[in-house]
Amino acid sequence: MISITKQWIEEGVENIYEATFNFLGILVMVDILTISNNEVSIYEVKSSTEVKDIYLHDVSIQYYVLKNLGFKIKSANVIHINNEYIRDDELDINQLFKIVDVTNEVISMQSNIPNILQEFETYLKDRENEPNIDIGKQCNNPYTCDAKEYCWKVQRNIPDYSIFNIFNLGSKKQIELYNRGIINIDDVPHDFDMTSIQAQAVENYKSKITYIDIENIKSFLQNLTYPIYHLDFETYQQAIPQYKGLKPFEQIPFQYSLHIEYEDGTLEHKEYLAQDSVDSRYELALKLCNDIPNDVTVLAYNMSFEKSVIKRLATLFEEFSEHLLAINDNMQDLMIPFQKKWYVTPSMNGSYSIKYVLPALEPEFEKAYKELDGVQNGSQAMNAFSKLAFLEEDEKQKPRNSLLEYCKLDTLAMVKILYILKNI
């Protein structure tokens, strides 16, 4: 790569992707290098929607290497996605990307780079001693450290569930406990400064009993009127919007499942699955309005997600706007009893995610997911949908059925969770 880069520069190529350089063992690959009038510009391309501090470190080391190799550097830049861009008929890449000149920031970081490199070299040369760095914020920020598994589990025996898993306990308090030699939740002192929810979670863990706040759960259930419409969307995202009216990374719904639960316990199921390779948002919005009246209770798990999808559809299609916004107003969140810690079991491990709540309440459901043919989780669902476009017509029915079965099980799980809440 280094020799090809050199060759292309000598041949006068003006734009080189993944241009590769080495200075005293420091290897860098510049996403885009532009060369004009004997000056080069560095462009670091990120799929993020903003410039983050860590990107500046990336660019600064590239700048350092190129400067030391004798290049005259005109500018250093970060290119990222503009999430405010809304695609029209044609894609406008000048609007899609934002180019941010970070030359001054990068230059100001140059003086410290030799010290950092020296530090790295010291660590690498010492084959006898491991770096002596204790657990801290740096373990997870800005990224999870590659050595975390070793440092935490092998060196320090931190268990899977520890004081680092206490709900919403900030890293400062986690470190405070850790510095006092407290790792297991069982050892957290009764008088340690925590919120009432955190203290309750700790007590529940210590006592190993299921905690149920019947009053609050009953009050939550009283707000639900029959029939109850259990709703779950499946969506996909694109950094580069494919259809008119889409923004980068917008959640594009392609499927929903709807279980309608009547007061006598009977269930009715409705569903929608888009055709592949087409913009199906209009059809989905139309079907959703046909399936859900504007005056019924709609239940979702972590409804902010469903609401944001529906709100976007309402903005796009004025003819459905009133109906869709009414559905949104009538939506309630099945996650609330677990998020508010009104129902906690030890096996939920402090989480209120449906991934923990469902197996804790209804272990049979894990089995049901495993017995599904083809699609057993969200990741497989996405794969199956994305592959539909490449199949012959007669090959599509089986994966489509798998997708429908998977999504159906999601809303059926919500029905089960609600049933358990009603029968406490």
Partner DNA sequence: TCTACGACCCACTGTATCTA
Partner DNA sequence: TAGATACAGTGGGTCGTAGA
Q: Which chain residues interact with DNA by CB under 7 A? A: 46-50, 52, 81, 83, 140-141, 143-144, 146, 165, 167-173, 194-195, 197-198, 232-239, 249, 251, 301-302, 304-305, 307-308, 335, 339, 351-356, 378-383, 386, 410
Name the minimum Å distance from CB 266 to DNA.
25
Q: Which is nearer to DNA, 232 or 271 (CB)?
A: 232
The helix/strand/coil state of 236 is strand
Is 102 or 335 the residue whose CB approaches DNA more closely? 335
Least spacing, CB of residue 43 vs DNA, in Å:
17
Q: How far is the CB of 143 from DNA (least distance, A)?
A: 3
Specify the residue, 22 or 140, whose C-beta has the smaller distance to DNA.
140
Half-sphere exposure of 285 (CA within 13 A, CB side): 24
Q: Where are the alpha helices (DSSP H) in 275-334?
A: 281-291, 303-316, 318-329
Q: How far is the CB of 351 from DNA (least distance, A)?
A: 3
**CA angle, corner 173, sides to 167 and 177, nearest 5?**
100
CB 339 within 8 A of CB 374: no
Question: Residue 71 has what DSSP assignment?
Answer: P
Nearer of residues 72 and 355 to DNA, judged by Cβ: 355
Task: Indicate the residue among 68 and 165 with the shorter CB distance to DNA.
Answer: 165
Q: Which residue has the tokens 């007669």?
A: 394
Q: How far is the CB of 202 from DNA (least distance, A)?
A: 12
Minimum Å gap between C-beta 263 and DNA is: 26
d(CA 52, CA 373): 42
Query: What pairs with residue 256 in β-bridges?
Result: 233, 272
- Nearest approach in angstroms of CB 275 to DNA is 16
Instruction: Compute the distance between CA of residue 193 and CA of residue 197 in angstroms, rounded to an integer.
Output: 12
DSSP letters, 102-139, are -HHHHHHHGGGHHHHHHHHHHHHH-SSS-----SSGGG
Q: Which is nearer to DNA, 15 or 138 (CB)?
A: 138
Q: Rg of the Cα trace of the chain?
A: 27
How far apart CA 273 and CA 255 sit, in angstroms, is 4
Torsion (CA) 102, 105, 107, 109 in degrees, nearest 10: -130
Helix and strand numbers (H, E) in the chain are 17, 12
Closer to DNA by Cβ: residue 66 or 375 = 375
Which contiguous run of DSSP H or E holds residue 27?
A: strand 26-36
Minimum CB distance to DNA, residue 314 (Å): 12
Shorter beta-carbon distance to DNA: residue 72 or 137: 137
Asked if residue 227 has a cis previous peptide bond (ω within 30° of 0), the answer is yes
User: Smallest distance from the beta carbon of 173 to DNA, in angstroms?
Assistant: 4
Q: Which of residues 5 and 411 has its CB atom nearest to DNA in the complex? A: 411
